[in-house]
Amino acid sequence: MFEELLPRKPDEESLPYDALVERSDGYSGSDIRLVCKEAAMQPLRRLMRVLENSLEEVPEHELPKVGPITPNDIETALKNTRPSAHLHAHRYEKFNADYGSQILE
């Protein structure tokens, strides 16, 4: 999912996909999608800070480009996005206890 949602361009720094997989243990697919969206917003937030700190209006043709997603952006996204699947684990356990197959020995 990370490679699909956070593709890198040939001239960009490689993203640590293997580390992302390890760090996202317990995350649902929806959580991972949220992490990727959050990481993708980080370059835009950096650009917005630059523009907000500018004292004068920047002409459109001189606007800086939105930079690539960096490993630090992903680190920030992981810190800001917690796994949600564990919040519903008790529901699944109860459902399994009530309706799941039980193997008796």
Say which CATH number the domain at 81 has. Answer: 1.10.8.60
What is the b/e burial string over 23-60, where b = at least 16 CB atoms within 10 angstroms of the residue's CB? ebeebeeebbebbbebbbbbbeeeeeeeeeeeeeeeee
Q: Which domain holds residue 41?
A: 2-99
**Residue 63: predicted pLDDT:** 76
pTM over 0.75: no
Q: What is the pLDDT of residue 7?
A: 76
pLDDT of the residue at 102 = 67
Give me the pLDDT at residue 60, please: 79
User: In whole angstroms, what is the distance from residue 99 CA to residue 89 CA?
Assistant: 15
Q: Is residue 28 part of a domain?
A: yes
Evaluate whether residue 104 is within a structural domain.
no
- 13 part of a folded domain: yes
Please check whether residue 58 lies inside any domain of the structure.
yes
Query: According to the model, what pLDDT value does residue 15 have?
Result: 83
Q: Is residue 16 part of a domain?
A: yes
The domain total for the chain is 1
> Among candidates 44, 5, 43, 46, which has minimal Cα distance to 24?
5
* Residue at 87 is within a domain: yes
The neighbour count for residue 5, using CB atoms within 10 Å, is 13
In a domain, 105, yes or no: no
pLDDT along the chain (105 residues), means of 10: 82 80 88 93 89 80 82 90 74 78 63
